Amino acid sequence: MLYRPKADTIRRRWQNNSHICFFTKPESNLCWVKCTKRIACNKQLHDLQHGQEGMLVWVLFLLCQGVAPALTQDLCQRDAPNGYKVRISLKTALGEDAYEWNQSEMFFFRATMAFAMRRHFQMETYNVDNIILCVQTSRVSFWFVVTSPDNATMLIPKADVEKAVRMARHRINNAFLLSDRTLEFLGIHPTLAAPVNPDTPPWLIVFGVVIGAVCAGIIALLVSSLLQKRRKEKGMTEDGQDEEDMQVKGVENGINLDGTYNRGFTDDDRFTKL
């Protein structure tokens, strides 16, 4: 089990005591202390400070130098064949609410990945130890590999890791308050959301409403103009009958005309004028 104490405490101690810090990767700024239990590690550090258990420390140191760093160096490296690069964009996703990416977050990430692996391979129990991170940059990006719980030197193949990540992607995103775009697993494409296909396209519904209203309007107008015409015709025939009656009775402008027809006022226009 790896115990990773707070970086600045070790650094301070490192400044005082040169043989406490073990580097697994010289270029990174972090120190790693290998020990069995956390409390023991503290005690160890304390003892180391006071020069006790120096031999044990040296043995461990040699071991670390010889074996473990080499191991992890082999397993997790840039462009590892079975590893994935993760890129996180906190400021883009959360803006001012962005939290700081520190060791705790890294631990959380390893725990989440272990959860994802457990979920996928339901028989095997993955632990935080099985997720190894390396090549961390200030972008924030890093590589990770997954070791098998039975054999710490064997890596889980890329395809299986991909399947596990795909299955738990939603949970992983939500754990970090991020999205597919801001928590990228380079090489694992996000699954596209299935489109929602309504039974009737919505435009047809609107079209139906509009056409129905327009047709109703046209029919109403045509019917009203037809009724108007009929009413006018009926009114005209009634008026026409009244007029005829009036003419027969010799009524003009409401005045009864009675009298003889004066031939003196007939038109002479039958004959052409001279």
Helices (runs of H) and strands (runs of E) counted in the chain: 8, 8
**Nearer to other proteins by C-beta: 62 or 219?**
219
User: DSSP letters of 45-59?
Assistant: HHHHHTTTTHHHHHH
Report the distance separating Cα 164 and Cα 199, nearest Å. 34
Q: Which stretch binds other proteins (CB under 8 A): 43-51, 103-111, 154-162, 213-221?
A: 213-221
Residue 77 binds to other proteins (criterion: CB under 8 A): no
Residue 32's CB is within 10 A of a number of other CB atoms, namely: 19
Residues 206, 227, 236, 251: which binds other proteins (CB under 8 A)? 206
Residues 89, 127, 148, 179: which binds other proteins (CB under 8 A)? 89
Binding-residue total with other proteins (CB under 8 A): 30
Residue 195 binds to other proteins (criterion: CB under 8 A): yes
Shortest Å distance, C-beta 106 to other proteins: 16
| H or E, element range at 221 | helix 202-248
Q: What angle do CA 109, 113, 117 make, to 5 degrees?
A: 170
Q: Is the peptide bond before 165 cis (omega within 30 degrees of 0)?
A: no
Shortest Å distance, C-beta 163 to other proteins: 17
Residue 92 binds to other proteins (criterion: CB under 8 A): yes
Burial of 79: CB neighbours in 10 Å, binned 0-12, 13-18, 19+: exposed
Query: Helix, strand or coil for residue 9?
Result: helix
Radius of gyration of the chain (CA): 48
Residue 247 binds to other proteins (criterion: CB under 8 A): no
Residue 217 binds to other proteins (criterion: CB under 8 A): yes
**C-alpha distances out from residue 3 to 133, 135, 153, 192, Å:** 14, 19, 19, 39
Residues 210, 227, 236, 251: which binds other proteins (CB under 8 A)? 210
Residue 179 binds to other proteins (criterion: CB under 8 A): no
Report the distance separating Cα 15 and Cα 10, nearest Å. 8
Q: Which stretch binds other proteins (CB under 8 A): 33-41, 67-75, 199-207, 234-242?
A: 199-207
**Nearer to other proteins by C-beta: 154 or 210?**
210
* Contact by Cβ (8 Å): 13, 41: no
Residue 200 binds to other proteins (criterion: CB under 8 A): no
Residue 90 binds to other proteins (criterion: CB under 8 A): yes
**Nearer to other proteins by C-beta: 56 or 211?**
211
Q: Which stretch binds other proteins (CB under 8 A): 24-32, 33-41, 167-175, 219-227?
A: 219-227
**Nearer to other proteins by C-beta: 36 or 191?**
191
Binding residues vs other proteins (CB under 8 A): 87, 89-92, 137-141, 192, 194-195, 202-207, 210-211, 214-215, 217-218, 221-222, 225, 229, 272
